[in-house]
Chain A
Amino acid sequence: MHFISKNEKETLAFAEKFAKKLKGGEMIGLTGDLGAGKTVFVKGLAKGLGIKENIQSPTFLLMKVYKINLRSKMSDVRSLVHIDAYRLSRGEELTDIGVMDWLGKKDTVTVIEWIENVPGIFNENKIIKIKIDFGEEKEGRILEIK
């Protein structure tokens, strides 16, 4: 499916709505060039899951974990794992740093930016793939979801 976004605000709103469908246990792989808006998508996703904290880019630290308040009735998801493979070039680098210990839990949603940089470590069939391309309008984006 496709979604055409005119600007950052629309991408945020789309991601927030997308988050409501998540039940926990999902893995989302985000691809798209620098500046495409991957972290913007995650900001919307976090808001939709009931996370109040501001989502900063995890490029430097590679992984950030956000806990979702138990009282939040927005969904059954209890934590969001935000991974950024921008600085990596092999799948093993992610396993080397021990990130895998934090994945696969039923109440956790995992989102991985630059998933194409770490091939071969995630089960391709279980990943929701979202590709963000630049649209025709200056600030426009096309989101393709598989």
Chain B
Amino acid sequence: MLILGIETSCDETSMALVREEEGKLEVKKNIVSSQIKIHSKYGGVVPEVAARKHVETIFSILEEFVEDRKKIDVVSVASGPGLITSLLVGAEVARTISYVWGKPLISVNHVVSHIYANWLKEKTPSPNPSPQGRGIIEFPALCLVVSGGHTELVLMDNFGKFKVIGRTLDDAAGECFDKCAKILGLGYPGGPAISAYADKLKVKSEKLKVELPRPMINTPDFNFSFSGLKTAVLYKVRDLGKKSFGESVRREMAFEIEEAITEVLVSKTIKAAKKYKVKTIMLAGGVSANKNLRKKMGEAIKVELPNTGYQIPDIQYCTDNAAMTAAAGYFYAKTGKFTPWEKLKVDPNWEL
């Protein structure tokens, strides 16, 4: 089966081709707007924020897929959750392709797509493979979906069976990275900027001058809160004053921010994994590209849940991309979940 994926739920405009053979999913083509130069007739290179002008971007990407139209078996589009105006662009393109090229259409959930990135063949070898073997994802599984817009713990009992058991009550983890980086005067996106700065801190074992809270780490539920961490960083910077806020303090702060965010994420994931007795733990979403989160989660699983598998998506499929949308499309198609093009609807608040 050859699946065309379309993803426009927020900033990125992306289309991809994924081939399924005997249940294995291989990415044939994956174009993401932030990585390419748009043909000049559509307005040149797309800057970060203007990338939301999906209408201008999507046609130059679509041109790259016209040659594949005869081979495509199904079209899979992310129709929510997301920004309604962005979602509509992807949905209209998908609807048109379905009608004009005569392809069955599948409407998939964006968060579920992130999770299915773990089934793409191009995946990072697991540091703690399932006892059944490397790359085998056994159910029930638990996935921590973390990005700029999402922070959710999703229990997956089987293909197509998802349940959100915890989520952020305010800011997403990726957003917290971005805003803390802004307060510290570091770059955008905040996650990589803070990580790079934290790595500059040489002696990590020494007691740091800066201590930040670990919001909600001990609450009995599986929810998160990151807004207060941002405010705590703000108060620290204010209390330290400009004079003592030099490079070394900034490194300490960056290190401690990354520690605080990753510690809370790992702790709640492990706690949930124990409660639901899952066989595999997975990561997904843009923040799952964070090296320290990947490492810490792996270490915690080895110590606390040595018989639980650990699966992480390949770095390039962590942030928004259409390969994951196509992968999700395959699993929806397998169970016959098609949507006639006339009935395709977007749902900006689509809850699992």
User: What is A's interface to B at a CB cutoff of 8 Å?
Assistant: 33-35, 39-40, 54-57, 59-65, 87-89, 93, 96-99, 101-102, 138
Contact = CB atoms under 8 A, between A and B. Distances in A.
Interface string B142-182: 00000111000000000000000001111110110011001
Contacts of B124: none
A65 B84 contact: yes
A65 B348 contact: yes
Contacts of B170: 39, 55-57
A124 B292 CA distance: 46
Nearest to B188: A87
A138 to B, nearest CB: 7
Given A34-B182, A61-B10, A97 B85 contact: yes
Given A34-B179, A34-B183, A56-B168, A61 B52 contact: no
Contacts of B175: 57, 59-60
B1 interface: no
Which 10 A-B residue pairings sit nearest by Cβ, starting from the closest?
A60-B149, A98-B85, A35-B231, A35-B234, A60-B148, A57-B171, A61-B83, A97-B85, A97-B52, A59-B175
A96 B57 CA distance: 13
Given A34-B183, A61-B10, 17 more contacts: A33-B234, A34-B230, A39-B227, A40-B227, A55-B170, A56-B167, A56-B168, A59-B178, A60-B10, A60-B148, A61-B81, A63-B83, A63-B84, A64-B349, A87-B49, A96-B53, A97-B85
Contact of A34 (B149, B167, B234): B234
A57 B174 CA distance: 12
Nearest to A67: B349
Interface string B193-235: 0000000000000000000000000000000000100110011
Nearest to B11: A60
25 contacts: A35-B230, A54-B169, A55-B170, A57-B170, A57-B175, A57-B227, A59-B175, A59-B178, A60-B147, A60-B148, A60-B149, A60-B174, A60-B175, A61-B82, A61-B83, A63-B84, A64-B349, A93-B49, A96-B53, A97-B52, A97-B53, A97-B83, A98-B84, A99-B85, A102-B84
Given A87-B49, A96-B52, A56 B169 contact: yes
Contact of B50 (A57, A63, A93): A93
Q: Which of B49, B50, B53, B179 has the most CB of A within 10 A?
A: B49
A127 to B, nearest CB: 22
B113 interface: no
B82 to A, nearest CB: 6
Interface SS of chain A: helix, strand, loop or mixed? Answer: loop
Contacts, number: 76
Interface string B50-74: 1011000000000000000000000
Interface string B99-140: 000000000000000000000000000000000000000000
Nearest to A89: B49
A40 B148 CA distance: 19
Contacts of A64: 348-349
Contacts of B234: 33-35
Contacts of A89: 49
B98 interface: no
Contacts of A35: 183, 230-231, 234
B43 to A, nearest CB: 12
Given A34-B183, A61-B83, A88 B235 contact: no
A117 to B, nearest CB: 11
A17 B267 CA distance: 37
Contacts of A65: 84, 348-349
A60 B171 CA distance: 9
Nearest to A90: B49
Contacts of B172: 56-57, 60
